[in-house]
Amino acid sequence: MAAMGGGGGGKDGGGGMAAQAGRLGVVASVAFNLAALAFYLRRRYFGGDAAAAAARKAEAEVAPSSGKPPVTKDSIINLDHGDPTMYEAFWRGGAGERATIVIPGWQTMSYFSDVGSLCWFLEPGFEREVRRLHRLVGNAVADGYHVLVGTGSTQLFQAALYALSPPGPSAPMSVVSPAPYYSSYPAVTDFLKSGLYRWAGDAKMFDGDTYVELVCSPSNPDGGIREAVLKSGDGVAVHDLAYYWPQYTPITSAAAHDIMLFTVSKCTGHAGTRLGWVHTNFVPNHLKFEQILAQCDWFFWHRWALVKDRAVAQKMSKFIELNTIGVSKDSQLRAAKILKAITDGYDRAPAAAVAGDDDDDSSSRLFHFARRKMVSRWAKLRAAVAASGIFTLPDELPGHCTFANETVSAYPPFAWLRCGKEGVDDLEGYLRERKIISRGGGKFGADGRVVRISMLDTDEAFAIFVDRLAAMN
Amino acid sequence: MAAMGGGGGGKDGGGGMAAQAGRLGVVASVAFNLAALAFYLRRRYFGGDAAAAAARKAEAEVAPSSGKPPVTKDSIINLDHGDPTMYEAFWRGGAGERATIVIPGWQTMSYFSDVGSLCWFLEPGFEREVRRLHRLVGNAVADGYHVLVGTGSTQLFQAALYALSPPGPSAPMSVVSPAPYYSSYPAVTDFLKSGLYRWAGDAKMFDGDTYVELVCSPSNPDGGIREAVLKSGDGVAVHDLAYYWPQYTPITSAAAHDIMLFTVSKCTGHAGTRLGWVHTNFVPNHLKFEQILAQCDWFFWHRWALVKDRAVAQKMSKFIELNTIGVSKDSQLRAAKILKAITDGYDRAPAAAVAGDDDDDSSSRLFHFARRKMVSRWAKLRAAVAASGIFTLPDELPGHCTFANETVSAYPPFAWLRCGKEGVDDLEGYLRERKIISRGGGKFGADGRVVRISMLDTDEAFAIFVDRLAAMN
């Protein structure tokens, strides 16, 4: 869930991704005109027939989008969303070949993936690769947990709120998170004005008994390691572990919380695939056995009688059934292939054996590729901040990583950049005037002198960003 | 949206798809045991190494699910959901080869499909094929309409409710549909207890000014052609045209309503792909220009000033951003390829030219394949009903189809089966005792002597169903 999202969609007043899209439209438009000019020139000098044939072929193949247009030195640089295009370079290598998927027209037509399963829309191959990857990385316990799949972890976050809400007529359950919190939490919680739950702000200021605390660790936006701050009453913590992967932070232990959310986009870079997953084995106090039975009919009853620990998983699955009648199987097949390519890569070249070796071939080892990128980008960012003199960043957090088997620093996927310059009270606006789109601290429950910057964009966009930053003073 | 869904998830008290999955679990378990036995015997007689190698290869390929297990003469036959597995036979033919998609590991990684577009997560290739298919079939006007994509039309239905709800504090907008209505409408409307909208039942009994009327035509469950029954005040009709395709009903004109929902699953049979789309060009009275501007920030403002007719489309797009941060690109690429294969098939062998010719090769013409199936199945069903003597079905509805250029009957995807036998007040229960799972009339706002039966399952399941039905008296 800590992926990205509109942020400004709710009370924050911004226009979200659509507004960003609007801004970028001008860039896209310029890019389109350049492309059209190039096409014209090519046609003029290399013959119209070949160009027309190429165009026809492209149309016949239903050419996919390539995301945002390429940047130039004068472009608006959009680092608002955590669009993980940094990873494309890895997947264009050998691992990408192994992750290629072929889906014949007759495959996976049914709504059902496994009719006998609690999560009837979960592709068995995807579940297998999820469990295999967690065993490799050691970042979360999967054995003994139910695994559910969602259309991104955003959908699973809403499913968790639905599943954890007390049944019957009662006041909406409070949803909280310690500030600075992920900017989409308030908007996604409140956009439908649900009577089941409502956003209640900073967990550190909260004083009630029935709540869900969202624990995003490492934290979006600031990269910090978090634990639940509330412990009282009937409250439940939902752990958003979107960034608990070894390229971003030391893996210090296998997480074993009640409800843990993950997303493909920040693990592998495939945001367009829209897949998240959750581990849970949880039954909160208010989900009494009789209530679970009351939701089930005669046949289901017999199954449930044996498996009452599946209460939350069953309600989350129900949410996804009502919201989208399951989750794209095509995406699950593709994600399974992608996760498999990652784990297979480490089967060939184990992680710890070559840890710290900067010369090794990282073409088949995703986490090593991504960590190297993050180390390099953070070094450049810290150098730019030092050159500028008006900014500060959070301190580096080192720890022993069980995956790499060495002590490493955290290199978060977002930079939480603060400005100390006199008169700059709206850092987001200050950067926007300099053609850098970031997300202002106000959307995270923080002040306006801080912004969140994505560290996962393309090399080209990142390079232009740090150059501009270094020149500010 | 008129696809399928839990139905019983809300006030109806059933367990929805998960409960069905539970029921089918027993079938699946038996099937698994048989498969295991077959595997054992094969291994025993054909050598263990080859079998083990085949199993290893299957695992290496991340074998996809195949939906529900095959049925046998004594199986429980589940015709509750409209699982469109009937179509698999078509896609296993030549058209299926042409619909095969290959997605390399590096493709479509970004969140964005077209940053300059209102629906920034809509793959341009998918939109192009949607428009091309509608031009071929003539069932809906696409020119001049915005096209949005959703995770099934279920998500788009919720997006429409969100987009059409009056802003600011006011009583929830009423959501109505004339009974019998699609059983999922109440549950999907109410499951989050939204303060924006609430289910208000049968449109024919409704007496208010601010409402959304869901017009499902041809109707799920009974196949009838519907028009909006309410015309007053600030009400808005949302047209659910999931079944307005030539295999199910004569195409009498190109629909041109304010908001029209479609779904891939009932057009092509690819339910597992979870894709729907909507056409709209609508601005309701209560979405005033100033309110739209208030939602947008400085840059977006300039774009919106030129395009105020995009109000509903923009709010629907926002819903999908908040709900799932867009829609699977893998599914969009696949759906584009599938729709393209259909339209290309008719480019090769036009529809009207060979209309009514039962001997023509329908291997490349989807609607002809599916219509032939529907004609055959309805003939068998009517014969079984006549043989039984205790059931009735709606009358056949003929009309001139502009696509086929001839007068044809409607062959709906669901049979709305009524029982006149003394003492059978719960037809769903009566059939369940005879191992046929249907969906009872109560879930559609009708009485218990009627049920909805899917006509889109496999040939094998359908054949067993009609045999059993014919024997009831």
Contact A324 B191 (CB under 8 A): no
Query: What is the Cα Rg of chain B in Å?
Result: 23
- B61: tokens are 């390929």
Proportion of chain A above pLDDT 70, given as a percent: 78
* Residue B104 preceded by cis peptide, ω within 30: no
Give yes or no for A456 touching B (CB within 8 A).
no
How far apart CA A205 and CA A171 sit, in angstroms, is 19
Question: SS3 string of chain B?
Answer: CCCCCCCCCCCCCCCHHHHHHHHHHHHHHHHHHHHHHHHHHHHHHHCHHHHHHHHHHHHHCCCCCCCCCCCCCCCCEECCCCCCHHHHHHHCCHHHHHCCEEECCCCCCCCCCCCCCCCCCCCHHHHHHHHHHHHHHCCECCCCCEEEEECHHHHHHHHHHHHHCCCCCCCCEEEEECCCCCCHHHHHHHCCCECCEEEEEEHHHCCCCCEEEEEECCCCCCCCCCCCCCCCCCCEEEEECCCCCCCCCCCCCCECCCEEEEEHHHHHCCHHHCCEEEEECCCCCCCCHHHHHHCCCHHHHHHHCCCHHHHHHHHHHHHHHHHHCCCCHHHHHHHHHHHHHHHHHHHHCCCHHHCCCCCCCCCCCHHHHHHHHHHHHHHHHHHHHHHHCCEECCCCCEEEECCCCEEEECCCCEEEEEECCCCCCCHHHHHHHCCEECEEHHHHCCCCCEEEEECCCCHHHHHHHHHHHHCCC
Per-residue confidence (pLDDT) for residue A280, from 0 to 100: 80
- Between the alpha carbon of residue A81 and those of residues A3, A315, A340, B162, the distances in Å are 8, 30, 27, 24
Average pLDDT of B24-34? 39
**Cross-strand pairs, A262:** A277
* Average per-residue pLDDT for chain A: 81
- What's at A295, amino acid-wise? Q
Residue B285 has pLDDT above 70, yes or no: no
User: DSSP state, A194?
Assistant: B
User: DSSP state, A244?
Assistant: -
Pairing of strands B414-419, A173-177: unpaired
Q: Picking from A137-141, A362-366, B271-275, B447-451, which range would have the lowest pLDDT averaged per residue?
A: A362-366
Query: Considering only residues 229 to 258 of chain B, which have any Cβ-Cβ distance to chain A shorter than 8 Å?
Result: none
Per-residue confidence (pLDDT) for residue B219, from 0 to 100: 97
Per-residue confidence (pLDDT) for residue B356, from 0 to 100: 46
Q: Picking from A270-279, A371-380, B39-48, B138-147, which range would have the lowest pLDDT averaged per residue?
A: B39-48
Proportion of chain B above pLDDT 70, given as a percent: 78
How far apart CA B269 and CA A10 sit, in angstroms, is 37
Looking at domain B124-341, which CATH architecture does it have?
3-Layer(aba) Sandwich (3.40)
The model's confidence at residue A295, banded by pLDDT at 50, 70 and 90, is very low
Question: What is the per-residue pLDDT across B172-210, written as a single tens digit (0 to 9) for each?
Answer: 999 999 999 999 999 999 999 999 999 999 999 999 888
Q: Picking from A283-287, A296-300, B63-67, which range would have the lowest pLDDT averaged per residue?
A: A296-300
The model's confidence at residue B311, banded by pLDDT at 50, 70 and 90, is confident
Average pLDDT of A97-112? 92
- List the strands of the sheet with B414-419, edge to edge: B391-392, B414-419, B450-454, B439-440
User: DSSP state, A140?
Assistant: B
Residue B339 has pLDDT above 50, yes or no: yes
Per-residue confidence (pLDDT) for residue B330, from 0 to 100: 93
Q: How far is B386 from chain A (nearest CA, A)?
A: 31
Question: What is the per-residue pLDDT across B201-242, written as a single tens digit (0 to 9) for each?
Answer: 999 999 988 899 999 999 999 999 999 999 877 788 999 999
Contact A25 B116 (CB under 8 A): yes
- Chain A positions in Cβ-Cβ contact with residue B25 (cut-off 8 Å): 115-116, 303
How far apart CA B247 and CA B348 sit, in angstroms, is 19
- Chain A positions in Cβ-Cβ contact with residue B457 (cut-off 8 Å): none
Q: Between these two residues, B54 and B412, which has the higher pLDDT value?
A: B412
**Cross-strand pairs, B216:** B240
Question: What is the per-residue pLDDT across A437-464, written as a single tens digit (0 to 9) for each?
Answer: 999 999 999 999 999 999 999 999 999 9
* Residue B218 preceded by cis peptide, ω within 30: yes
Q: Picking from A101-115, A304-318, B93-107, B426-440, which range would have the lowest pLDDT averaged per residue?
A: A304-318
* Residue A167 preceded by cis peptide, ω within 30: no
Question: What is the per-residue pLDDT across A13-69, written as a single tens digit (0 to 9) for each?
Answer: 334 554 444 444 433 433 433 343 333 333 333 333 444 444 444 445 667 887 778
Largest CA distance in chain A: 77
Contact B330 A108 (CB under 8 A): no
- Chain A positions in Cβ-Cβ contact with residue B111 (cut-off 8 Å): 4, 17, 67, 81, 83, 265, 271-272
Contact B100 A102 (CB under 8 A): yes
The length of chain B is: 473
Average pLDDT of A97-124? 88
Per-residue confidence (pLDDT) for residue B413, from 0 to 100: 98
Per-residue confidence (pLDDT) for residue B362, from 0 to 100: 62
Burial category of B347 from C-beta neighbours within 10 Å (exposed 0-12, middle 13-18, buried 19 and up): exposed
How far apart CA B164 and CA B156 sit, in angstroms, is 12
Average pLDDT of B33-46? 37
Burial track A423-462 (b if 16+ CB lie within 10 A, e otherwise): eeebbbebbbeeebbbbbbbbbbbebbbbbbbbbbbeebb
Per the CB < 8 A criterion, the answer to whether A369 and A84 are in contact is no
- B249: tokens are 């009903």
Q: Picking from A285-289, A447-451, B63-67, B181-185, which range would have the lowest pLDDT averaged per residue?
A: A285-289
Contact B64 A269 (CB under 8 A): no
- B247: tokens are 């295999």
H helix or E strand, kind and range, residue A399:
strand A398-401
Query: Considering only residues 376 to 435 of chain A, which have any Cβ-Cβ distance to chain B shorter than 8 Å?
Result: none
Per-residue confidence (pLDDT) for residue B367, from 0 to 100: 97
Give the rounded distance of the alpha carbon of A289 from its chain centre: 34
The residues, any chain, with a CB within 8 Å of residue A58's CB and separated by 6 or more, are none
Per the CB < 8 A criterion, the answer to whether A255 and A239 are in contact is yes
Looking at domain B71-97+353-470, which CATH architecture does it have?
Alpha-Beta Complex (3.90)
- Chain A positions in Cβ-Cβ contact with residue B322 (cut-off 8 Å): 5-6, 9, 16, 154, 184, 187-188, 191
Question: What is the per-residue pLDDT across A329-385, written as a single tens digit (0 to 9) for each?
Answer: 999 999 999 999 999 999 887 765 544 444 445 678 999 999 999 999 999 999 999
- Between the alpha carbon of residue B130 and those of residues A196, A204, B143, B221, B240, the distances in Å are 37, 49, 11, 25, 16
- A395: tokens are 């301190």
How many residue contacts between A and B have a Cβ separation below 8 Å? 400
Describe the crossing of helices A329-348 and B329-348 by its angle, rounded to 10 degrees.
120
Which of B315, B353, B329 lies closest to B166, judged by CA? B315
Per-residue confidence (pLDDT) for residue A362, from 0 to 100: 62
- CATH says A101-341 is which class? alpha beta
Average pLDDT of A162-167? 84
Contact B331 A328 (CB under 8 A): yes
Contact B28 A116 (CB under 8 A): yes
Per-residue confidence (pLDDT) for residue A50, from 0 to 100: 45
The secondary structure of A43-105 as a DSSP string is HHHH-HHHHHHHHHHHHHTTPPP-SSPPP-TTSPEE-SS---GGGHHHHTSHHHHHT-EEE-T
- Chain A positions in Cβ-Cβ contact with residue B146 (cut-off 8 Å): none
- A15: tokens are 């226009």
CA angle A29–A32–A34, rounded 5-degree value: 115
Domain ranges, ordered by start, for chain B: 71-97+353-470, 124-341
Per-residue confidence (pLDDT) for residue A313, from 0 to 100: 78
The model's confidence at residue B97, banded by pLDDT at 50, 70 and 90, is confident
Query: Considering only residues 287 to 306 of chain B, which have any Cβ-Cβ distance to chain A shorter than 8 Å?
Result: 295-297, 299-300, 303-304
The 3-state DSSP class for residue A407 equals: strand
Proportion of chain B above pLDDT 90, given as a percent: 58
B67: left (phi over 0), alpha (psi -120 to 50) or beta: left
Residue B392 has pLDDT above 60, yes or no: yes
Per-residue confidence (pLDDT) for residue A13, from 0 to 100: 33
Query: Considering only residues 46 to 75 of chain A, which have any Cβ-Cβ distance to chain B shorter than 8 Å?
Result: 59, 62-69
The length of chain A is: 473
Number of Cβ atoms within 10 Å of the Cβ of B74: 9
Per the CB < 8 A criterion, the answer to whether A77 and A438 are in contact is no
How far apart CA A283 and CA A177 sit, in angstroms, is 21
Measure the N-to-C terminal CA separation of chain A; round to a whole number of Å.
35
Contact B5 A321 (CB under 8 A): yes
Q: Picking from A195-204, B31-40, B189-198, which range would have the lowest pLDDT averaged per residue?
A: B31-40
Per-residue confidence (pLDDT) for residue B116, from 0 to 100: 73
Per the CB < 8 A criterion, the answer to whether B449 and B424 are in contact is yes
Question: What is the per-residue pLDDT across A229-276, written as a single tens digit (0 to 9) for each?
Answer: 998 777 889 999 999 999 999 999 999 988 999 999 999 999 999 988
Q: Between these two residues, B453 and A121, which has the higher pLDDT value?
A: B453
Give yes or no for B326 touching A (CB within 8 A).
yes
Contact B191 A322 (CB under 8 A): yes
